[in-house]
């Protein structure tokens, strides 16, 4: 079986759902259920006998040791993190605590567990650390996309905390021989994305008749990847990645923020036409994010060349699927935006423990 951290978040939940749909191997999901953790995203697998949920913190050493001993996973896939750049600017402490200190405790627990495995089990064991392209900093328009050799130049408290965690993971391999893999992925989008991030926020605000806030001039560039393509890349690296290596993950889909927002508005204009005008009329330019990185772009050719991975979705197919998912899952969105999912989670959790 495998142990996943942060499996109730956006990417983690997509990973858990895909994993259980695609293979018969049990999975334990350890998640502390911060505001970003939503068990409702995993409702469809709650009763799957291959799925086990544990509410807990990656910084809880006693819990980690117990979980590893109890379940004897062959791999750990580490998603758990504070992930929103704007929140890291307003309150960086949680980012240092979870992303750096939490990852440290996880590495230590995994190291002790791995050290006690038989030679055969230890040789097969893997820990995969899920990280971000933001560790590389910001590109100029004419710069080549980030390769794995690009220097770390993180600019926000979020990206600095992720960069620190990447360094810890690297050091635990180099010093202790821990069999780790790291992925550095570009911006994800798709189902179950918390509507604080650009794409789900714009879809939600457009449908609610609210303004669509564009930071600064809207010419910042992000490299978008449909979330299930990120999940398939993680599986490919887990299965055949070279130990201690990092793999960039991206879909070669650079877009300015304004292009993304206009694409969403154009899709909604067809799917849910307004009586007058376009959703684009709701666009509003607002104060820029402090220290806003101008451009991210990922060179994913190492992953393609070594492991044969390629994304299944283009931006056009992925954004259409995403918007349709939000249109068809307005109850999920409503529960998140009203905060009702928090009550639902506590009820569900009490029930699950009973
Ligand atoms: P998210 O914020 O949606 O989910 C994070 C999950 O981690 C939540 O379920 C939360 O409850 C859980 N969590 C937070 N702190 C925890 C702790 N101390 N112990 C246990 N669980 C905890 O994040 P996401 O967007 O799904 O990102 C997942 C991972 O992928 C993160 O490590 C992030 O840095 C990385 N990443 C994200 C993107 C993206 O575009 N979203 C791109 C590249 C990499
Ligand atoms: O690059 C990978 C990263 O992508 C992940 O590591 C992060 O966890 C994830 O949150 C994401 O970070 P970004 O800051 O790029 O994503 P966000 O959706 O917050 O913003 C995307 C772009 O849109 C960014 O340039 C800021 C801008 N933006 C965002 C919001 C929320 C706006 O213009 N208006 C908004 O309201």
Q: Can you give the residue ranges of every domain in the chain? A: 2-189+225-252+297-314+341-348
Residue 176, both tokens:
């202790």
The pTM assigned to this predicted structure is 0.97
Give the distance (Å) from ligand 2 centre to CA of residue 84. 7
Residue 339's pLDDT is 82
Residue 351's pLDDT is 45
Residue 344's pLDDT is 55
- Name the DSSP letter for residue 209: T
Task: List the one residue out of 22, 21, 19 whose CA is nearest residue 11.
Answer: 19
Q: Give the whole-angstrom CA distance, residue 153 versus residue 163.
A: 8
Q: Give the whole-angstrom CA distance, residue 156 versus residue 291.
A: 7
Q: Which fold has domain 2-189+225-252+297-314+341-348?
A: Rossmann fold (3.40.50)
Residue that the structure tokens 């570009």 belong to: 186
Which among 158, 247, 296, 326 is annotated as catalytic? 158
3-state secondary structure of 338: helix
Q: Give the whole-angstrom CA distance, residue 223 versus residue 280.
A: 22
Task: List the one residue out of 218, 149, 230, 156 whose CA is nearest residue 186.
Answer: 230
Give the distance (Å) from ligand 1 centre to CA of residue 279. 30
List ligand 1's pocket residues with C-beta within 6 A: 5-6, 8-12, 31-34, 36-37, 57-59, 79-83, 98, 102, 130, 132, 162, 185, 187-188, 194
- Report residues of the chain scoring pLDDT below 50: 345, 349, 351-354
Q: Would you say the C-alpha torsion 164, 167, 173, 174 has a positive or negative sign?
A: negative
Residue 347's pLDDT is 59
- Name the DSSP letter for residue 213: E
């Amino acid at each position: 079986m495998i142990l996943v951290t942060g499996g109730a978040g956006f990417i983690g939940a997509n990973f858990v759902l895909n994993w259980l749909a695609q293979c018969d191997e049990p999975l334990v999901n350890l998640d502390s259920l911060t505001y970003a953790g939503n068990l409702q995203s995993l409702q469809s697998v709650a009763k799957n006998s291959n799925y086990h949920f544990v509410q807990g913190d990656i910084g809880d050493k006693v819990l980690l040791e117990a979980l590893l001993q109890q379940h004897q996973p062959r791999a750990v896939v580490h998603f758990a993190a504070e992930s929103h750049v704007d929140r890291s600017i307003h309150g960086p402490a949680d980012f240092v605590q979870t992303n750096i200190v939490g990852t440290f405790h996880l590495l230590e627990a995994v190291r002790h567990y791995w050290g006690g495995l038989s030679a055969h089990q230890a040789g097969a064991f893997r820990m995969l650390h899920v990280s971000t392209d933001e560790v590389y900093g910001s590109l100029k328009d004419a710069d080549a996309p980030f390769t794995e050799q690009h220097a770390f130049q993180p600019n926000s408290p979020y990206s600095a905390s992720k960069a620190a965690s990447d360094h810890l993971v690297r050091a635990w391999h180099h010093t202790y021989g821990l069999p780790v893999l790291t992925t550095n992925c570009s911006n994800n989008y798709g189902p179950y994305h918390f509507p604080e991030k650009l794409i789900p926020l714009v879809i939600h605000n457009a449908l609610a008749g609210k303004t669509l806030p564009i930071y600064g001039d809207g010419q910042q560039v992000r490299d978008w990847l449909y979330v299930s393509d990120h999940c398939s890349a993680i599986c490919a690296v887990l299965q055949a990645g070279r130990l201690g290596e990092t793999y960039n993950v991206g879909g070669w889909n650079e877009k300015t923020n304004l292009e993304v927002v206009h694409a969403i508005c154009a899709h909604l204009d067809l799917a849910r036409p307004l009586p007058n005008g376009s959703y684009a009329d709701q666009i509003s330019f607002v104060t820029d994010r402090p220290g806003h990185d101008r451009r991210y772009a990922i060179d994913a050719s190492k992953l393609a060349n070594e492991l044969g991975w390629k994304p299944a979705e283009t931006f056009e197919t992925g954004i259409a699927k995403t918007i349709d998912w939000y249109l068809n899952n307005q109850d999920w969105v409503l529960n998140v935006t009203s905060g009702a999912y928090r009550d639902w989670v506590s009820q569900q959790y009490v029930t699950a423990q009973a």
